[in-house]
Amino acid sequence: MPSENTLKLLCFSAPSGAGKTSLVRALIERIPELSFSISATSRPRRGTEQEGVDYYFLSPEDFRQRAAQGLLLEWEEVYPGALYGTLVSEIERLRSLGKIPILDMDVYGALGLKKRFETQVLTVFVMPPSLDVLRQRLQLRGTDSPERIEERLAKAKEELRLSEEFDRIVLNDEFAMALEQAEAIVRRFIEE
Ligand code: 5GP
């Protein structure tokens, strides 16, 4: 990072199905200072996903090599065998455009960045109303098998435990209210 003293990063985390992606998209539409940080991943491309839009898709070897070279700000094995991380070059690209990067990442990645960058990072946890609601949302989404849903729910329990370590928690029961709350949090951080 060229000048860590002026760095500002927004990290959003949530269990799968909590509505984080919709919330982050809506925030970017409303707040022009924000720009989405495109992560690198070693998992294969899915459906309509595009290189350099949804992710930078790297082979596991390339990913690990870049991590070893210090080219990733953070990275985690989010699912067994699937690596995800933030490229230093991506953060530099957004900052050179005068944008505040908004990152979507797993809880460990977010808490790791918080530990390293302290007040320069704001961590926000998007809380689902309950595990039952989460299960219903994942079932309705219809993109995961029943086994995968159970796997995601088990992971969600662990993520909920770690939510206490986040700077802010946004309850996503009613989307419009969650968005209003998140927008106020983000605007305050930008203006600080
Ligand atoms: P998916 O494979 O469904 O797109 O994403 C799986 C998980 O990876 C999500 O929980 C997402 O938050 C996490 N993730 C995406 N990008 C990053 C990243 O750059 N770093 C970390 N630590 N996690 C990420």
CB distance 106 to ligand 1 below 6 Å: yes
d(CA 68, CA 65): 5
d(CA 117, CA 19): 26
pLDDT by residue (tens digit) across 64-75?
999 999 999 999
> CA–CA distance from 96 to each of 16, 71, 83, 87 (Å)?
31, 17, 26, 14
- The residue behind tokens 């960045």 is 113
pLDDT at residue 4 greater than cutoff 50: no
Q: Residues 78, 106: contact at Cβ < 8 Å?
A: yes
Report the predicted TM-score, pTM, of the whole model to 2 decimal places: 0.92
CB distance 15 to ligand 1 below 6 Å: no
Cα-atom radius of gyration of the chain, to the nearest Å? 16
Q: Which numbered atom of ligand 1 lies nearest the CA of 16?
A: 10
Q: Coil, helix or strand for 177?
A: helix
CB distance 86 to ligand 1 below 6 Å: yes
Substitution site in 42, 57, 84, 141 for ligand 1 pocket (most atoms within 8 Å of beta carbon)? 84
d(CA 15, CA 67): 25
CATH architecture of the domain covering 9-191:
3-Layer(aba) Sandwich (3.40)
pLDDT of amino acid 142 = 83
pLDDT by residue (tens digit) across 111-156?
999 999 999 999 999 999 899 988 998 899 888 889 988 888 998 9
